[in-house]
Structure 1
Amino acid sequence: MTRTRDRTGRWPGMITDGLVASAVFAYNLPIQGFGAGPGGYAALLIPLGLCLPYLWRRRRPVAAFAAIVAVAALQLLAGVGLLAADVMLLAGLYGVARLRSWRWSVPAAAAVAGWVIAAVAPRLGEYFLGPRDLLSLLGLVLVAWFAGTLARTHSDHLASLRARAEQAEQERHAQVEAAAVAERIRIARELHDVVSHNLSAVGLLAAGAASCIDTDPRQARSALRSLEDSSRSAMQELRSMLGVLRSAEPTGHAPLPGIGQLRGLVEQSVALGVPVRMTLAAGSAELPAGVQLGAYRIVQEALTNVRTHAPTARAVEVCLRRTGDELSIMVRDDGTGPAEPDREDAGHGLIGMRERVGALGGRLRAGPRAGGGFEVVAALPVRGSG
């Protein structure tokens, strides 16, 4: 398709060049050249040789110009005087200056100027030719070269502007795509944290209710009520999160969780049988919303991993402490840790934590403890918070 458009776009220029060459050749026929020279076929072939190469001046400007100069040189050697078709030398020079660099156009201009001097100087004083006429013809050579060079400079400038505009457009598209990918990762991370935490709680509550529904119906009903509360809380948090993700405008949904909601998170884990003890240092709650959400999600994911992969843990410790411009988060347990560390579900949680900490410019270390159990330690920078 592109090649077809290029060929189609060349036709108007080729037709124009053909009309110009034909007009010059037709105009030359009834006009006698200055000075004696052969007639007959020579008088016909020389103008034809000067005009015909002009048809290729767009695709092969240097070759077309060289052919015109060669025919003009034969014209001098044959003793044919100046012809109207000699104007094709100027047209060929313009084509070289228009489509090629100075490395080609300057020698071309010198060649035409040399031809003009060789053709006119011997005839000064004849046929009304004087020094002023010679200077005028040399001036036309300069005008043809300058016009072609100016057109090429303008064309190169436009091409440079188009290239910069295309590059800017490509960069803009790349930035939009990168932002879209980052947004998808952020949404996936939020969904994973919310869904995995609440589904693990629902699973534990459902298993507890199923295990005692025959032996202790009251305990089973209590577990089912807790399951209902956990499901309702999960739906409310999902609605709040999706409402924020859909629009940056203020909404009527509850705000996203922060450090203030950690106690409820710990109480839920305790209710599910996970012995959690939390230490929250003073000043930790006076933090930017993004840091608070990050801290909440890290603790949430760590506690979810404890329930899922270390159900035998007898003690889980959660500690948040602000030191200068940094918030330290530590979650450790004394359980056996994940039996399969490279499982897909466990891997997604740790990857999400690392991405979240990295987005906030912090550091994360997660792995087995030397004395047994598992430990998650994160450090989030706090900027501009009082």
Structure 2
Amino acid sequence: MIDRPDVPLDGRRFATIPPLIVLALIPLLFAVPEFVDSGTVVYLTTGVLLVQALLLIICARFPGLVLAGITAADSALFILDPGNTSAGLAVPLAVYVLRRALPRRAAAQRIIPLGLVSMTIAAAIGSGGELVAAGEIPLGIARGLLLYLLPWVIAEVIIGRTQLVQALTERAEMAEREQELAARHAVQEQRTMIARELHDIAAHHLTGIIVSAQAASALTQTDPPGQRRYLQAVQSDARSALENLRRTVGLLRADEESTASRAASLNDLPQVIEAALARGTRVQLHESGEAWSLGPVAGVVVIRGIEEALANIAKHASGAEARLTVRWEPHRLSLEITDDGAAGTAPTLPASGYGLTGLRERLALVHGTLEAGASGTGWRTAFSVPREHAAREGESA
């Protein structure tokens, strides 16, 4: 099993930033007069820093070897010039990159031994070249903790935060995908419902054609063979249309059994109000204007829209009182369903809008419009269908 890092490392960034930080230290050292006047220490320190900068370039690819080399260079400078910690800056950079590049266990196997070696050398050499029982040992330990433990802890914190952000991002993406799938499923359910109702309407009309054609065939008086052949063709075409419709809609239906039951319409409004009352929603009906004939599709769309609005009230504002306003205008039918929000919690816009999406699709069949949103302490759903499209089939029937 491959031991992978906790968080993927950006190799290009860590191949440029740490070396530049170490190289930036060189001109700062030359700005110190004591350093410039230190003789061969200038060349020794500069050479060690250049070597460490070169090693840091490949630190992301070979973090363990680079940390060992940088630790060796730091210890060599500390031994050759006791107390010189100029090369210590590269150590925490290498430790940080190593922890980011390797898993915690693999990183610990490299950091801890090298840190102990560095602390031992610092405590033993110190600034006077001898082991001081009470002075250099604490300083050596503090130097080791500062150069090895602190960057390790910083790397752990950053890795933890990065993992948390990734987890939250993945959770949000997963929730978004689930919401999208749920919305598609809900829309598909609405389309299936529409397909079933349209199938019932078409099946009813096509069955009537077949029955009428059969009756006409039985009553023919003149040219019985020719008339009968014509009517038989009508019957055959009607049966084929019915079969093709059933086969097509059957792709969306859960069952293949079709019935020629009456399509839902505004005539079912009393039953819808009774069903809402059974769910705990009182409905006040206000109707105005002179009613005109609705086509079958428009009738289904309107009654289903009312059912959806009342169902939402029962779901989100249980116990609220609803007001249903039906206005028969000369050029359109307008409906408005509101509630008083008496359930105690103000309705909020649904996150997915599944019911509204399905209702909007239904209204599109008859060129209708939809408005939905909070209204005072309650919720308002309003939609309308133009008479030109809503009554066309009903008037021609």
Coarse TM-score class (shorter-chain normalised): 0.3 to 0.5
TM normalised by structure 2 equals 0.46
Please give the TM-score of this superposition, normalised by the length of structure 1.
0.48
- Structure with the greater relative contact order (CA < 8 A, sep ≥ 6): 1 or 2? 2
Larger Rg: 1
